[in-house]
Structure 1
Amino acid sequence: MRAVRNGVQPADTSLDTNDQSTPIGAAAAAAVEALTMERRRPFPRPTRQRIATVANQKGGVGKTTTTVNLATALAMHGCRVLCIDLDPQGNASTALGVDHRSGVPSIYEVLLGDRPLEEVVVRSSEAEGLYCAPATIDLAGAEIELVSVVARETRLRRAIAGLRQEVDYILVDCPPSLGLLTVNALVAAKELLIPIQCEYYALEGLGQLLRNVELVQAHLNPELRLSTIILTMYDSRTRLADQVVHEVKEHFGDRVLGTTIPRNVRIAEAPSYGRSVLTYDPASRGSLSYLAAARELAERGFEPNGVGV
């Protein structure tokens, strides 16, 4: 309530952006309508199933965050998506609101117990058509246990090949290492998606990952291609971030998504609530950025017969 002095009520100088009769109000209404239309517009579905591994042995670059939010955005816009959590920490399972306590049927039993993949897949509450194969702490010992297993590098590929459930996308979240779990993910996939943070040492260790990719291509999976680079943790206030963006685009060319993911507190908060940022705060910069990145990924498509890493 506005104060009244000497019987005179002060003029209302507040800005009513809901009033479409003003230029600002009309512009705000148009922006909201455009954003609503963009959110509702379905993504093109791929003509064939796309299997993408999200990997970078460097920790803290946004692998899990990227996997979860791209999967959620794709599912929200008409695609059927399976997220496979291959990280023993189970952070992707947490962010998708999926139970991953020890003893829960998980990807561990698929890799080491020959359990069919569809028996461990559960639906995520984040979006219609979004599913998750969770990881439990049991997966922590899988690197050692897989060493003595026959065809140890192809366990995940065989499991996916036997999946009867029809999905448009399979996104595999990897641990921050280049061990047998990551090798399984690379052997199972057609595409490699690498998140790179816009910070110092961004490209450190990437050469080793790409050398491993070349070895996998040569000996285990000739169809694997580096299809996508996504830049994360971008801070427009720093010159360094722009330098990293420039270097990465110069090196990887059109494989780098045009959308960069900003540093955003909502992105960091969402997993603690068992949510993706798209459902935790749909209007946040982080949510809108991942939505744009997912649309770009879907509209680009993927040509598996490309050459090179």
Structure 2
Amino acid sequence: MPHSANPTFQMDTTSERIQRHGKELWDRLRARGAAPEKILDDRPLRPFSLGEVAEILGVSGSYLRQLSIDGLGPTPELGTAGRRSYTLRQINELRAYLASTRPKEALKFCPRRREGEKLQIISVAGGPSTTTTSLYLTQGLALQGFRVLAVDLDPNGSLSEMYGYFTATLPVHNASMYAAIRYDDRRVSLSSIIQKTLFDGLDFVPGSSELEQFEEESSRRYRSKWGYPDASIRMVEALKQVEEDYDVVVIHCAPECGGFLTAGAFEAATGVLVTARPQLADIAKTTMFLNFFSHFVSLIEKAGRSVNYDFIKFLVTRHNPRDVSEQEAIALLRASLGDDLLTATVWESDAIREAGLKNRSLYELSAGDVGRSAYEQAMETLNSTNAEVMDIISEVWDRPPMYVMRASRTAGKASS
């Protein structure tokens, strides 16, 4: 029977019919656990096994086991066969305990910045995988004991969704970076909009569609009597409000490189991480991004404000190491960029992709969720990348490098 014979459909307006379809689909998805029921998904973070904790802290499993037997440090949960596991909060408590009992290795266990070490603000921008890169970098930093703030500048809230915060499907009001940098008297402090994540030590500022409104307002001011807006200065000022609370801020720039917001990210940054895919067509897009990047930095410089980054580094993502053409593309990047191209690359991975489909990261899952071989291979590339970035931060803070060496030992252990 055609829809017109149904009185219910005859009474629907077009907008009501569309809305009804949306509600019915949403209800069915929610019934299957495939759609969020609230803005913030407060799913628990899994505990970490004693072996994982030993790798994270850079100590032996037998040492941690003996601490537990002696009743020193936090008390782990005992599972089947006496297997010990720790929450991330307990791992951080272990850090504090080990730093106090082994003061010569205090930096290894508690890497938080000391007096005189400046806040590191890393803008992740450029090519593909900026969301994935931002996600794994922020969670990796938090696992290593850094206090991290992630700022999502994507109006679609892509990074926020990976933290379990669904602003695209369940809109929020005045709760993104827009609220802290808007032009009217409804501007609020950045600290009032910061959200917690499942990871102890990792907070974030959500992305939402309100950010598009900021772009529009900035564009109007640019064309009006106000002249060039102070959008980027507002970003700098907002981050200064929470400077004492964090060691590293990671700014996730919108994939389409929104103008004024991205300019703010560039001005606030102390370092920039540019993602690039190892294919010639994508490298051409990276080149176009660099022209865009250069243009915005030149505008900041013309305004009389110097731009002195601690680093500009390039990261190859979605790399298939068996593809000869991609190896040639990486060689081209290396020849052009030299040491500014990170040694580690993030491999194309079904494990990373499958975790993303579940709105999870591999740090949140166990090997059994995606397959052990794929899991370990993906974790090796992710941890190696994070280790390089953390050693760069250590260099800026005048500390000796240690993370790449530790990641290499872990990778060797996994492959053996």
TM-score w.r.t. length of structure 2? 0.59
Counterparts of 1:71-86 in structure 2 under 5 Å?
71-86=138-153
SS in 2 for 1:278: coil
Aligned counterpart, 1:181: 261
**Equivalent residues of 2:124, 2:275 under 8 A apart:** yes
Q: Select 1:98's aligned residue among 154, 165, 168.
A: 165
RMSD: 2.5
Amino acid corresponding to residue 251 of structure 2 in structure 1: V
Counterparts of 1:287-302 in structure 2 under 5 Å?
287-301=379-393
Distance change (3 Å), C-alpha of 1:225 and 1:209:
farther
What CA deviation, in whole Å up to 9, does each residue of 1:279-304 have, x standing for no partner?
Answer: 23464422332222112211122549
SS in 2 for 1:279: coil
Percent identity, please.
Answer: 20
SS in 1 for 2:274: strand
Aligned counterpart, 1:135: 207
**Equivalent residues of 2:122, 2:272 under 8 A apart:** yes
**Equivalent residues of 1:234, 1:261 under 8 A apart:** yes
Number of residue pairs matched by the alignment: 269
Q: Are 2:185 and 1:119 aligned?
A: no
Instruction: Give the Cα–Cα distance (whole angstroms) in 1 for the partners of residues 306 and 166 of structure 2.
Output: 32
After alignment, is 80-89 or 281-290 more displaced? 281-290
Aligned counterpart, 2:326: 241
SS in 2 for 1:83: strand
- In the TM superposition, what is the alpha-carbon distance from 1:153 to its structure 2 partner? 2.5
Amino acid corresponding to residue 121 of structure 1 in structure 2: I
Structure 1 stretches (4+) deviating beyond 6 angstroms? 32-36
Aligned counterpart, 2:216: 144
**Larger Cα-atom Rg:** 2
**Equivalent residues of 2:122, 2:273 under 8 A apart:** yes
Structure 1 residue runs without a partner (length 5+): 1-31, 305-309
After alignment, is 199-208 or 175-184 more displaced? 199-208
Structure 2 residue runs without a partner (length 5+): 1-48, 59-108, 368-374, 398-416
Instruction: Give the Cα–Cα distance (whole angstroms) in 2 for the partners of residues 54 and 38 of structure 1.
Output: 27
- In the TM superposition, what is the alpha-carbon distance from 1:212 to its structure 2 partner? 2.4
What CA deviation, in whole Å up to 9, does each residue of 1:62-103 have, x standing for no partner?
Answer: 111101100000101111110000011111101122343322
Amino acid corresponding to residue 69 of structure 1 in structure 2: Y
Q: Select 2:57's aligned residue among 40, 44, 47.
A: 40
More helix by share: 2
- In the TM superposition, what is the alpha-carbon distance from 1:115 to its structure 2 partner? 1.4
After alignment, is 212-221 or 71-80 more displaced? 212-221
- In the TM superposition, what is the alpha-carbon distance from 1:216 to its structure 2 partner? 4.8
Distance change (3 Å), C-alpha of 1:34 and 1:247:
farther
Aligned counterpart, 1:215: 298
Aligned counterpart, 1:52: 122
- In the TM superposition, what is the alpha-carbon distance from 1:275 to its structure 2 partner? 2.0
SS in 2 for 1:132: strand
Aligned counterpart, 1:21: none
TM-score w.r.t. length of structure 1? 0.79
Counterparts of 1:154-303 in structure 2 under 5 Å?
154-163=233-242, 166-175=245-254, 176-177=256-257, 179-204=259-284, 205-212=288-295, 214-216=297-299, 218-219=301-302, 220-224=305-309, 226-281=311-366, 283-301=375-393, 303=396
Distance change (3 Å), C-alpha of 1:88 and 1:221:
farther
Amino acid corresponding to residue 135 of structure 1 in structure 2: G
**Equivalent residues of 1:96, 1:276 under 8 A apart:** no
**Equivalent residues of 2:119, 2:243 under 8 A apart:** no
